[in-house]
């Protein structure tokens, strides 16, 4: 967010965000960066619900919620934005209302549309950071490719029955060694064939797992905006809650990847 004129904080905001402001690595300047930031969130489901709540609580200036689904009873086991009174309503609209109640200083835009390769660029073009909490590989590839071409930092995560993963992508930049940062396609070169992985509806998912991983996504979005600690670029966090095991792996640029690889036609 270099060159952006940061907005001032009102007296009410200073009190609201006091616990951020006293953090040495965030402080007043960091909180003003959060207020100036525009974040796009793909999916308001298991990962998106806690992610959206913590982004709003953190004081992100504008949050765009992109989800074309409606609230169903089976969502309520893990999607903590919603209640029984919301059944049948568009998730994006209900999420916008919930975030407005939580923090009126945050502007929320509800996009109750299905994200596709045709509309993704328009949906993310004026976002500073994108967070993908979708539940399928087709959307993850569409979003990660679009963020590469639009030069948008992307925080992306996924969950299974008792396990999850999280990473951050900035493949439009180079690392300290002068090599390009890895793309999503460096980490997952090919999509799994249809039916290779069971859906949450088929295999189930632990509700609290989505809360944990979604909250960590919010932390990584804040890190990307403010800048503190060690980035998750080139690192993949893995969570196994059945064994309560957490580990972080490193991964690098694949020179054969189609986005910024040696033979990429669209690499810039």
Burial of 205 (0-12, 13-18, 19+ CB in 10 A): buried
What is the C-alpha to C-alpha distance for residues 46 and 232, in angstroms, rounded to an integer? Answer: 21
In the predicted model, what is the mean pLDDT of the chain? 95
Q: For residues 188 and 192, what is the distance between their CA atoms, to the nearest angstrom?
A: 9
pLDDT tens track for 136-192: 999 999 999 999 999 999 999 999 999 999 999 999 999 999 999 999 999 999 888
Asked which of 19-23, 97-101, 134-138, 200-204 is least confident by mean pLDDT, the reply is 200-204
Local confidence band at 95 (pLDDT 50, 70, 90 cut-offs):
very high
pLDDT value of position 268: 43
- Entry pTM: 0.95
What is the sign of the dihedral through the CA atoms of 207, 213, 218 and 221?
A: negative
71 pLDDT more than 60: yes
* 18 CB burial (10 A radius; 0-12, 13-18, 19+): exposed
Q: Which pLDDT belongs to residue 1?
A: 60
Confidence of residue 44 (pLDDT cuts 50, 70, 90): very high
């Amino acid at each position: 967010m270099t060159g952006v004129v940061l907005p001032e904080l009102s007296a009410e905001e200073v009190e609201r965000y006091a616990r951020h402001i006293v953090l040495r690595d965030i402080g007043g300047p960091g909180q003003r960066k959060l207020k100036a930031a525009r974040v796009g969130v793909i999916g308001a489901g298991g990962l998106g619900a806690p992610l959206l709540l913590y982004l709003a609580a953190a004081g992100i200036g504008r949050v765009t919620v992109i989800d074309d689904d409606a609230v169903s009873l089976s969502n309520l086991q893990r999607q903590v934005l919603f209640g029984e009174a919301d059944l049948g309503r568009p998730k994006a609209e209900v999420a916008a209302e919930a975030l407005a109640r939580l923090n009126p200083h945050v502007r929320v835009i509800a996009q109750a549309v299905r994200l596709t390769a045709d509309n993704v660029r328009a949906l993310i073009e004026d976002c500073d950071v994108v967070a993908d909490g979708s539940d399928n590989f087709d959307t993850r590839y569409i979003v990660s490719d679009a963020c590469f071409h639009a030069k948008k930092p992307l925080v992306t995560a996924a969950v299974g029955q008792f396990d999850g993963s999280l990473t951050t992508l900035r493949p439009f930049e180079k690392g300290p060694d002068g090599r390009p940062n890895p793309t999503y396609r460096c980490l997952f070169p090919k999509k799994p064939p249809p039916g290779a992985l069971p859906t949450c509806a088929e295999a189930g998912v632990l509700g609290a797992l989505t809360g944990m991983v979604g909250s960590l996504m919010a932390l990584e979005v804040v890190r990307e905006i403010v800048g503190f600690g060690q980035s998750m670029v080139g690192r993949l966090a893995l969570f196994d809650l059945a064994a309560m095991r957490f580990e972080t792996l490193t991964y690098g640029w694949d020179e054969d990847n189609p986005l910024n690889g040696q033979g990429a036609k669209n690499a810039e």
